[in-house]
Structure 1
């Protein structure tokens, strides 16, 4: 089955809720970064020292905790809540996780000097000492990041998506308050004189690094009330023996192997980046760790708004489908995710590439023109890989749903080799001022290679990934994006010739050029009949229509044509008078109310759901007669539906446990 999954409405609502929280969080995150860069700058010894230290908890968390939680926790919790003692199991899992995180954080904090020297190779000893001091305050964030992830994944498994994505808002608010207090107390760069590491004292370190850690602490603690609201009554319980964690341990082990491979590559990248200022022969405003972080922040903004939100909402459903061995449903979810994410990421990459300098100027309001240009070059190098990064992220969720992290390791090895080779070649072939740009291009190439390799493997496992349909979507989206880029560049050059420079001009350029590019892109996708655009816009348009001045824009963006039809409908349409019946292009997709076939040509179209309080779009019509079901017309109901049955009849209640969709068929654990 390659059509849109039947419970896509729930998926879109969950993704929309998370996207709204992520949008607010990312906007506040941009403000947080602006305040931070105003306080310590985007280049210089102090900025690079804090960038290394504050990055350590994120790196250590992803290496030792984050991937394990994604791969293990959600599938385990989904299964646990299907049993009578599910809550006891979750309590024991959380208790074990909290204790393990506390011990791990203590060890990593004591090892802070070693970690700094592993990830940085600065020419100044004062800069290295300052980075170590920052690290003692920042590394404890590992514990709170872990608590946030543990509680958030339990909430996601309970289909409570909002709190997990809204909690970072608290983090950003606390950090902004602390960074503003830093500027009030000590001034902003360059007037403060805090660009050089030797100018820093204990009070400056405490206020800056302490504010960053306090924000992460608040982000974790606000999830405890949300846990109770979701019906989870956590009680500390000890012991996990006899709860079937043997398989989870194997999954965690292979996850750690894959992450370790990726981090070995990142160690080389980080060291190459940190060496750039010392090798630049006295050149100023050389992109290094802080510039890399600023560029990566811009790169991650569109990814976090849509890709992460949709992938997180998909993951619980994917875990259920994989557990039920419903290969067709997994294949449909993968195809749907790749196509909808592709529609957005192609546009986002085009807009940010055109507006790299204005966007960077907004993020770094106090930066010089040379610093802005240096960071913007890194942004462009990274952003070209955004569509591939989105596809790779969706593929990862499929591996995690099957708890098959072992099959991801070869993909991660290939990606790490591409990044390391590209970074080392950049160091040899490019001037030091362009080393970070070479690193960004290497990352983009690694995402493309990783997505292609992963999809080839998943094609074998799932008996196809709907590749032709996904490829056609990306080709049409790329064509529309190229036209939008040309229009955007012409408009950007015109505004720069008319308007003076500054923050206000940069903001106007982003709003004007970005809006025009978006409208051109949408219009071309409409002309190219890209129906996945409707799925992307459907959760947004009803909210925008409530704003009076935006209603003409909503009418312009609203899907045209038949109501209630989703992206590339696979349901066979009733024949119209005087023409041949439409042929389905792939396996049929069945909504929650199965319409296997229409008895005659007068059968109605399905109306689009009516928003609350609005007049119905069409009168209700009696349900048509349904043709006898065959093995190809059997409807697919989502797990949890009263009429749900696994895709293989052998798995229906009372049947044998063997299935043609089992692990032996696909070569890997399910």
Structure 2
């Protein structure tokens, strides 16, 4: 476990700064454009490059490419250098074509992901923004591949720190939008100049992020030379293995399409309570997951792939068990605190500029439900990496299909059965149930794959962590109740709640967990104390 913690520490630091600046970026953009029509149009356009990247490239990176690079490094006489160069050449060509096609087809793509009851003006604005944002697919994908190659060389810092530059650029764009030329959040008043600033400014952030990763890859010894020969490279095997990944990503994006359509439709029925509210709450929900889980998963996958390639299943099981316990030691209290303090978090972040206190509070209510999903979502992502380390992409596809089916069915029930203001909250609840059930099925299949996952020890540790987190949640609830006795929820009172409830809650959790001898928490405390002493 200490090995996982040490490997993840630098990534956690970078990811924490990245997510915190991401917090600020989200708050600035929300203050600039609000959560009404323009906010919904921007968020819909902003999500498209990520959707297309995941659909065509992103899933392959995490499930196929990293294990194959590891195998090429072990197998090839040149330690996989030619394989990496061919991979980068192919990625540049494919991603450039995708970016061009994306811009040309921006209109039909936006029609697919937006609600049928959007006004022509709203669709037009979203399409214009998409045309300006979609070119970032090429830079985002090339940067992601550079990050994947760095990870296989145990260079984890740059991929975790590079998004900070992206966030800083977009923060500057949001501030410029607010202060230059009287830019408006009213979709009827927004000008072409305003849209160019928002769209190209957002793309500029991804370009800067990609440049940082390319420089880091060069410093790690990678020298790019175009290579086009594919025979006997293993890329044919990768394409065959990736076919299931494409199906998996396609299924998950179909589920995302359903959620987006329902959320945008809800926003038309209840303005300010639609897709933007869902998107902002989801971004905040992913903060603790991104800081700890992504860091640990990134460090875990190359090592698990090496263990599986060498037939060391015992070491693979130990790696997984250490990872899930370490992640849970942070996300268990984080999830419980989000359930209590979600509205305080969002009020502090979003009740500025063109946002209202009511909009911010609603995002917090959605975030509270997402807090319930934090543990099952993180464990589900860990379990998928067990299959990927074996080169098995078929089983995750089946699991993804089950997950999407449950989520989509429950989301449709929420859309048609709940009042408009509660639809997005219902969508978050559907997400949570889907991952609870999906994690149970995935655990059973992964355990069979690797010969057991130490479920008794893992669930014993989880029980201890939840027990240690209960006093922290109660302290946060007490701070919330006491503050509400004297004042309404505002940015100031929210800051007080977070400082008192969140701050004391975290300290109490660490003290309780340390006293209960939960080794993962003790290791984190020891690592931090060691860094401070230095």
Structure 2 unaligned regions, length at least 5: none
Deviations 1:365-423 (A, max 9, x none): 32322212211111011111101111111112222211101111111111001110111
Tell me, yes or no, if the aligned pair for 1:109 and 1:140 is still in contact at 8 Å. yes
The aligned counterpart of 1:76 is 68
Cα shift at 1:441: 0.6
- In the alignment, is residue 118 of structure 1 matched against residue 83 of structure 2? no
Distance 1:153 1:178 in 2: 28
Q: 1:325 to 1:286 in 2, by over 3 A?
A: same
Q: 1:447 to 1:538 in 2, by over 3 A?
A: farther
Which of 447, 451, 459 pairs up with 2:435? 447
The aligned counterpart of 1:88 is 82
- In the alignment, is residue 104 of structure 1 matched against residue 98 of structure 2? yes
SS of structure 1 residue aligned to 2:204: helix
- In the alignment, is residue 44 of structure 1 matched against residue 36 of structure 2? yes
- In the alignment, is residue 61 of structure 1 matched against residue 53 of structure 2? yes
- In the alignment, is residue 197 of structure 1 matched against residue 190 of structure 2? no
- The structure having more radius of gyration, on CA atoms, is 1
Tell me, yes or no, if the aligned pair for 1:77 and 1:154 is still in contact at 8 Å. yes
Deviations 1:547-605 (A, max 9, x none): xxxxxxxxxxxxxxxxxxxxxxxxxxxxxxxxxxxxxxxxxxxxxxxxxxxxxxxxxxx
Cα shift at 1:498: 4.5
Moved more, 512-521 or 124-133: 512-521
SS of structure 2 residue aligned to 1:278: helix
Deviations 1:632-660 (A, max 9, x none): xxxxxxxxxxxxxxxxxxxxxxxxxxxxx
Deviations 1:489-526 (A, max 9, x none): 11222234346754233223212211211122223323
The aligned counterpart of 2:302 is 316
Distance 2:12 2:268 in 1: 41
Output the TM-score relative to the length of structure 2.
0.96
Distance 2:132 2:70 in 1: 36
Cα shift at 1:485: 1.5
SS of structure 2 residue aligned to 1:117: helix
Tell me, yes or no, if the aligned pair for 2:143 and 2:214 is still in contact at 8 Å. no
Question: Pairwise CA RMSD of aligned residues?
Answer: 1.6
Distance 2:366 2:487 in 1: 25
Tell me, yes or no, if the aligned pair for 1:338 and 1:394 is still in contact at 8 Å. yes
SS of structure 2 residue aligned to 1:197: coil
Give the alignment of 1:469-618 within 5 angstroms: 469-498=457-486, 502-543=490-531, 545-546=532-533
SS of structure 1 residue aligned to 2:268: coil
The aligned counterpart of 1:142 is 137
Tell me, yes or no, if the aligned pair for 1:354 and 1:485 is still in contact at 8 Å. yes
Deviations 1:58-109 (A, max 9, x none): 1111111100111222112212222322211211111111111111111122
Tell me, yes or no, if the aligned pair for 2:343 and 2:362 is still in contact at 8 Å. no
Structure 1 unaligned regions, length at least 5: 547-611, 613-670
Distance 1:538 1:454 in 2: 33
Moved more, 495-504 or 297-306: 495-504
Distance 2:424 2:100 in 1: 33
Give the alignment of 1:140-289 within 5 angstroms: 140-187=135-182, 194-280=184-270, 285-289=271-275
Which of 329, 345, 361 pairs up with 2:331? 345
Which of 373, 378, 381 pairs up with 1:393? 381
Deviations 1:158-178 (A, max 9, x none): 110000111101111111112
- In the alignment, is residue 27 of structure 1 matched against residue 13 of structure 2? no
Tell me, yes or no, if the aligned pair for 1:71 and 1:251 is still in contact at 8 Å. no
Tell me, yes or no, if the aligned pair for 1:357 and 1:373 is still in contact at 8 Å. yes
Tell me, yes or no, if the aligned pair for 1:354 and 1:488 is still in contact at 8 Å. yes
Distance 1:487 1:186 in 2: 46
Moved more, 268-277 or 245-254: 245-254
Q: 1:504 to 1:130 in 2, by over 3 A?
A: same
Distance 1:298 1:19 in 2: 16
Higher helix share: 2
The aligned counterpart of 2:340 is 354
Distance 1:334 1:277 in 2: 41
Tell me, yes or no, if the aligned pair for 1:31 and 1:176 is still in contact at 8 Å. yes
Distance 2:226 2:218 in 1: 14
Distance 1:508 1:496 in 2: 11
Q: 1:501 to 1:292 in 2, by over 3 A?
A: closer
Runs of 4+ in 1 over 6 A off after TM superposition: none
SS of structure 1 residue aligned to 2:180: helix
Distance 2:188 2:223 in 1: 50
Deviations 1:136-156 (A, max 9, x none): 011111111101111000000
Tell me, yes or no, if the aligned pair for 1:93 and 1:240 is still in contact at 8 Å. no
Q: 1:472 to 1:490 in 2, by over 3 A?
A: same
The aligned counterpart of 1:130 is 125
Distance 1:225 1:139 in 2: 23
Distance 2:192 2:21 in 1: 27
Cα shift at 1:343: 1.3
Output the TM-score relative to the length of structure 1.
0.77
Tell me, yes or no, if the aligned pair for 2:268 and 2:274 is still in contact at 8 Å. no
Tell me, yes or no, if the aligned pair for 2:347 and 2:489 is still in contact at 8 Å. no
Distance 1:292 1:154 in 2: 33
Which of 407, 411, 423 pairs up with 2:399? 411
SS of structure 2 residue aligned to 1:276: helix
Tell me, yes or no, if the aligned pair for 1:340 and 1:535 is still in contact at 8 Å. no
Tell me, yes or no, if the aligned pair for 1:49 and 1:131 is still in contact at 8 Å. yes
